[in-house]
Amino acid sequence: MNAEPIKRIKEKILESRKIAVLSHLRPDGDSICTSLALLFMGEMLGIEMGVFIKDPLPFPFNNFPDVDRIRFGEMPHDSYDCVILLECANVSRSGQSLLEDYFKINIDHHHSNDLYADINWVDPEAPAVACMIFRLGEELGITFTPLIATQLYSAIVSDTGSFQFSNTNAEAFEISHQLVKHGAVPILVTEMIFNNNPYEKVKLLGQVLSTLEMNPEGNIAVITMFKRFLDDLNLKEIDTEDITTLARSVKGAHIVLFFKEMKEDTFRVSIRSKASANAAMVAEHYGGGGHLHAAGFTVTGKYETLIRDIPAEVNRLLKENGQT
């Protein structure tokens, strides 16, 4: 019982004949691509593998190679020797029910994790869960095929925002170096992840950015997406993280307030912040919540009033708490 978790996971996998791999609700590039890499690794060991994801895949991962190997919705309750949960802080994060009777393996690189499984391997230093699965693959003596290398490399590129986010460390580069040697082709992954936008998304990006305003102090950027932007382009929902990233790139901007019109006089405000500016504190002030650098809240009122009052109040809050 005292052995390192990676060793115990190796042992459990090697004695298994049938394994289910689960990841979290609203799956992201890291969880999706790593699940597929793990599926191929298990199959190389002669294990019957199943990848189950509750929610549909977001763009652009819905167009990735081999996503037809993923099964969506509720996992069928077969006789798995173990269930591996990737990036799930608790069982309910997987969106799956009735996992009580299974032997569970919990692999995560986030700080907050309930350590709920039979084997828990949580490493907050790992830049992506893909890096942990790479290390597990080495432990298992897997020969990394170009297919596996491409999935793991895609996961790392996605989770580190192309080696730009704060989780980018030496390990991200070391493992990527190995993966490229094993046949991952960086330019092809870049094309798949970043240069694959639908025309409508880039048009929308332009429209939202045209609303960009800075507060007088120049530390708060405000952008707005009106419902009519989406309606005009026949878009329902689209990932708008790129737009926020651009707004946050303005020199001196510590916080981006992204107003999304839900219906008349109702806005969902996403907050993205950097450095010491605490997005969660701002969101909580308005009855919302979130994390240090990503949070949100909902407000009602006339747009002209909100757009004037909220940035001023947010600036006051930041000043009061020494966060500017």
The binding site for Mn ion (CB under 5 A) comprises 30, 128-129, 159
Q: Which residue's CB is nearer to Mn ion, number 129 or number 318?
A: 129
Q: Which residue's CB is nearer to Mn ion, number 53 or number 128?
A: 128
Work out how close the CB of 156 gets to Mn ion at its nearest, in angstroms, rounded to a whole number: 9
Q: Which residue's CB is nearer to Mn ion, number 137 or number 311?
A: 137
- Whole-Å CA distances, 87 to 106, 122, 311, 312: 8, 9, 34, 37
Residue nearest to Mn ion (CB): 30
Work out how close the CB of 12 gets to Mn ion at its nearest, in angstroms, rounded to a whole number: 22
Which tokens belong to 141? 């003596």
Q: Residue 38's closest CA among 49, 25, 54?
A: 49
Q: What are phi and psi of 11, to 5 degrees?
A: -60, -45
Work out how close the CB of 108 gets to Mn ion at its nearest, in angstroms, rounded to a whole number: 8
Q: What is the C-alpha to C-alpha distance for residues 205 and 172, in angstroms, rounded to an integer?
A: 29
Q: Which residue's CB is nearer to Mn ion, number 19 or number 86?
A: 86
Work out how close the CB of 128 gets to Mn ion at its nearest, in angstroms, rounded to a whole number: 5
The dihedral of CA 182, 184, 187, 190: what is its sign?
negative
Beta bridge partners of 295: 271, 290
The set of residues, in sequence order, having a beta carbon less than 8 Å from that of 241 and lying 6+ positions away, is none
Q: Which residue's CB is nearer to Mn ion, number 70 or number 129?
A: 129
Q: What is the C-alpha to C-alpha distance for residues 73 and 52, in angstroms, rounded to an integer?
A: 7
Q: Which residue's CB is nearer to Mn ion, number 30 or number 171?
A: 30
Work out how close the CB of 94 gets to Mn ion at its nearest, in angstroms, rounded to a whole number: 15
Beta bridge partners of 82: 19
Work out how close the CB of 159 gets to Mn ion at its nearest, in angstroms, rounded to a whole number: 4
The counts of H helices and E strands in the chain are 11, 12
8 Å CB contact between 66 and 147: yes
The neighbour count for residue 88, using CB atoms within 10 Å, is 26
